[in-house]
Chains A and B, each alone.
Chain A
Amino acid sequence: MKNPTYSREHIAYLKKQRNKKIIVHFSRVLLLAAVLGIWEICAQCKVIDPFITSSPSRVIKTLGNLYADGTLFYHIGITLMETLVGFALAVVLGYAVAIVLWSSDTVRKVLEPYVVVLNSLPKIALGPLIIIWIGTGYDAIIFMTVLVSIIVCIMNMLTGFIGVDATKMTLMRSMGASKLTTLRKLVIPASLPALMNTLKVAVGLAWIGSIMGEYIVSKAGLGYLIVYGGQVFKLDLVMTATFILCVLAGGMYGIISLIEKYVTRN
């Protein structure tokens, strides 16, 4: 406590705030436990058919089996690698393209309709082309991941760059700053919140891209497990892979949120 001489009212207020927080956290855990519990009970009592719906205990068992035969981390590792590499490439390339578009009005106007069309195109339509052009390896999946997430990176960053306060731009101009100097001293630091936002959106899209890529062409990975499990009616495997995906995607989002907090703490 910074100030020990709070009034009684203020202490009551703080307590109320803390209680509220506790209730929210507790309710979250309770909700998850209730859903899992009801699922498990229904499956145990054969209200629902666990062969089709699986159940929490079956998921845990499947996790154990995957771990035991040593393939758990193999599949996780492959999907994680594809997602992270695709994500990183999309952000770096997207950032670079956004800088080019920012630096020239003419280039921006020329390319605008293409960016818009590419953004609305369902990327999965390019699946067959990707297989033929790039093959069936990891690089095809990474390519798909980049394809799915890069347009949003470009558009988000461009909006961030263009949205930099006009007064600050005038200030730089009045000091005779070059475009490069303006970019380095003003535009890049000022658009940091936009970058953080872009990372958050792009990480979600990267997961979509990598799993979609694995649906189209793969020999391993979580998306592969889901497709394979569906084909041979091993719904336990499908549920387990989905569960792992939830944890990974949530964790990655959490890491980016932490980075954001650290970067924008001022």
Chain B
Amino acid sequence: MLEFKSVSYTYHTKEGETTAVSDLNFTVENGQFVSVIGPSGCGKTTILSLAAGLIAPSSGEVGRGDGEFGYMLQRDALFPWRSVEGNIFLPLEVKKRNTPEKRARALELAEKYGLKDFLKKSPNQLSGGMRQRVALIRTLAAEPAILLLDEPFSALDYQTRLEVCDDVQRIIKSEKKTALLVTHDISEAIALSDKVVVLSKRPATVVSEHTIDFGGNCPKTRRECAEFSVMFELLRKELGI
């Protein structure tokens, strides 16, 4: 579980200080997939850094459970000098948990999600969508309790994006992980999440929260639902675009 309790964060540069988020309140329940959407530059990445504990809030409190965090970034950041398998083992090595059991567990995940034939290949031989899947398995290999996703689909072309988006949602759901996604893509947020949190312009604060409960858990059927476009319009208005 992840809980933001009236969190504010101000960052300082030579030019001055900027309040990125102010009095932020929202919760991510265990097993929930929550998306945070907001206008670009509203401090979405700051929210993830706060959630991961990479930065400490200026005031307020970020409540985290005992579980670890896994971070998935805009670009896959795969290491080209390592094989796909080597990339998946990276978090185990960094966290000094590179035991045969953990490695076997990571490989099991990779095989379960269709990477079996690619394990010995170089990431450069994979398509953009495949690479992002490797990045997700790498994140999952460390067995995090909560996944933090920073617009992980924004670098992909539209078609791949839909595919990978559904792919990632399916994997996260079937592994029963808790996830917090930040994005500026409204339809992505609706298609993937159990709950959407709408942020204001900077300094970001919560405008509204919406529970998404139509169309089952599948992004594809959700996009075809009538409620989808209604929700889309509603969120669009709230974002003021």
CA distance A185 to B52 in the complex (A): 21
Q: How many residues of chain B have a CB within 8 Å of chain A?
A: 20
Q: Is the CB of A189 within 8 A of B94?
A: no
Which residues, 71 to 108 on B, are CB-close (under 8 Å) to A? 71, 73-75, 77, 79-81, 90-91, 93-95
Are B52 and A174 interface neighbours, CB within 8 A?
A: yes
Given contacts A185-B90, A192-B81, A266-B122, contact A170 B73 (CB under 8 A): yes
In the complex, what's the smallest C-beta–C-beta distance from B68 to chain A, in angstroms? 9
The CA of A13 and the CA of B160, in the complex, are separated in Å by 35
Sort A-B residue pairs by CB-CB distance and give the 10 closest, nearest first.
A174-B71, A167-B77, A171-B77, A175-B94, A177-B94, A168-B77, A189-B81, A167-B75, A175-B91, A167-B73
In angstroms, Cα B60 to Cα A89, docked, is 53
Contacting residues, chain B, for A168 (C-beta < 8 A)? 77, 79
Residue pair A189, B91 in contact (C-beta under 8 Å): no
Which residues of A have CB within 8 Å of B95? 175-176
Contacts of B54 in A (CB 8 A): 173-174
User: A266–B81 contact, CB under 8 A?
Assistant: yes
Q: Can you name the residue of chain B whose Cβ is closest to the Cβ of A192?
A: B81
Q: Tell me the complex Cα distance, A99–B43, Å.
A: 33
B75 neighbours in A (Cβ, 8 Å):
167
- List the A side residues contacting B153 at CB < 8 Å: none
A165 with B77, Cβ < 8 A, contacts A174-B54, A174-B71 known: yes
Q: How far is the CB of A140 from chain B (nearest CB, A)?
A: 40
Instruction: Please tell me if the beta carbons of B79 and A189 are within 8 angstroms of each other in the complex.
Output: yes
The answer to whether B142 has its CB under 8 Å from any CB of chain A is yes
B94 in complex: contacting residue of A165, A170, A181, A190, CB < 8 Å: A181
For the A-B complex, the count of residue pairs with Cβ-Cβ distances under 8 Å equals: 44
Interface residues of B, Cβ cutoff 8 Å to A: 52, 54, 69, 71, 73-75, 77, 79-81, 90-91, 93-95, 122, 124, 142, 148
Known: A168-B79, A189-B79, A266-B80. A176 touches B94 (CB 8 A): yes
- Find chain B residues with CB under 8 A from A189 CB: 79, 81
Binding site for B on A (CB under 8 A): 165, 167-168, 170-177, 181, 185-186, 189-190, 192, 266
A167, A185, A266: the one within 8 Å of B93 (CB): A185
The answer to whether A167 and B74 touch across the interface, beta carbons within 8 angstroms, is yes
In the bound complex, residues from chain B placing their C-beta under 8 Å from that of A173 are: 54
CB closest chain-B residue, reference A189: B81
**Which residues of chain B have C-beta atoms less than 8 A from A181's C-beta?**
94
A192 to B81, CA, bound (A): 10
Distance of A190 Cα from B80 Cα, bound (Å): 9
Q: Please report the C-alpha to C-alpha distance between residue A103 and residue B68 in the assembled complex, in whole angstroms.
A: 27
CA distance A266 to B78 in the complex (A): 14
A174, B122: Cβ atoms under 8 Å? no
User: How far apart sit A64 and B52, CA to CA, in the bound complex (Å)?
Assistant: 73
Chain A residues closer than 8 Å to B52, beta-carbon distance: 174
Q: Could you list 28 A-B pairs, sorted by A, with CB under 8 Å?
A: A168-B77, A170-B71, A170-B73, A170-B77, A171-B71, A171-B73, A173-B54, A174-B52, A174-B54, A174-B69, A174-B71, A174-B73, A174-B148, A175-B71, A175-B91, A175-B94, A175-B95, A175-B142, A177-B94, A185-B90, A185-B94, A186-B79, A189-B81, A190-B81, A192-B81, A266-B80, A266-B122, A266-B124
A266 to chain B, nearest CB (A): 6
Given contacts A173-B54, A175-B95, A175-B142, 7 further A-B contacts (CB under 8 A): A170-B73, A174-B148, A175-B90, A176-B94, A177-B94, A185-B93, A185-B94
Identify the closest chain B residue to A264 (Cβ).
B81
Are A172's CB and B94's CB within 8 A? yes
Q: When chains A and B are docked, how far (Å) is the Cα of A172 from the Cα of B78?
A: 11
Most buried by A among B54, B77, B122, B142: B77
- Chain B residues within an 8 Å CB radius of A170: 71, 73, 77
Which residue on A lies nearest to B75, using beta carbons? Answer: A167
Which A residue sits closest to B83, measured CB to CB?
A: A266
**Chain B: which residue is nearest A170 at the CB level?**
B73
